[in-house]
Amino acid sequence: MGIGSLFIPSLPKELSPVHPPLGIHPNYAVNKPTTLVLREKIFSFTGDDFAIKDIHGQPVIKCKGKFLSLRDRKIISDLNGNVLFQIRDKAWTIHTIYIGEDPQGEEIFRVRKRFSFGTKLEATFRNAVDGNEIVLTVKGDIFAYSADVMLGETVIAQIRKQLVDVREYLADTQTYFVTVAPGVDLTLMAAICICFDEAKHDAEPAGY
């Protein structure tokens, strides 16, 4: 595949509102553009809780990562500690699949990595508001840790990774910014960012 096939993320822009609200937790689909801040250290499996905040430093949800039975699990909860869903990877599959499960263990979304140069994910779920089956495409830049989350041809979220400085590199605390369109579930976009990061690391050579 030639260099002309590389995905180039769109420039940062104001994202249009989405109607009806889109996601699995409609109460997290706020009516204004929101930028989530995810520090990469939350993706480690220390068992610690980390707050996912907005650009103003206000906590939105919590993430807990741990290693269990050779499967990576992340637990997403509200600020009171009530579990919204957990993310695990599905073992023994050719293509990487991440499964989102509700507190009862029922699947509510999945994110599948498609074979492509760079990172291309496909997220599927049943929309909570109208019951429609939704497919989102996540097209990413293998070099810049950037991606667009797309509903058809419409960008509904943009994932961008902050450039690494020496202090952040040594502390292993690099940062993602996820800009989300009004009407889109913030918890689902955070989950997609986590899956994007996992897929990127899975694709990197050992010792990278």
DSSP letters for 67-109 = EETTEEEEEEE-TTS-EEEEEEEPSS-SS-EEEEE-TTS-EEE
Q: How is the chain split into domains, by residue range? A: 33-202
Task: State percent of the chain over pLDDT 90.
Answer: 54
Q: How many Cβ atoms are within 10 Å of 21's Cβ, its own excluded?
A: 21
Dihedral angle sign, alpha carbons of residues 156, 113, 187, 34:
negative
Q: CA torsion, points 46, 57, 123, 89, in degrees to nearest 10? A: 0
- The more confident residue out of 199 and 88 is 88
Q: Which fold has domain 33-202?
A: Porin (2.40.160)
- The more confident residue out of 48 and 184 is 184
* pLDDT tens, residue by residue, 103-133: 999 999 999 987 655 568 999 999 999 999 9
pLDDT of residue 90: 74
Task: State percent of the chain over pLDDT 70.
Answer: 70
With CA atoms as reference, report the closest residue to 180 among 61, 1, 12.
12
Q: Give 39's pLDDT tier (boundaries 50, 70, 90).
A: confident
pLDDT of residue 68: 37
For the chain, the average pLDDT equals 81
Q: Give 45's pLDDT tier (boundaries 50, 70, 90).
A: very low
> 55-64, 73-82, 134-143, 177-186: which range is least confident on average?
134-143
Residue 204 has pLDDT above 80, yes or no: no
Residue 28 has pLDDT above 70, yes or no: yes
pLDDT of residue 175: 84
Residue 52 contacts residue 75 (beta carbons within 8 Å): no
Residue 150 has pLDDT above 60, yes or no: yes
Q: CA torsion, points 49, 168, 53, 203, in degrees to nearest 10? A: -80
Q: Give 14's pLDDT tier (boundaries 50, 70, 90).
A: confident
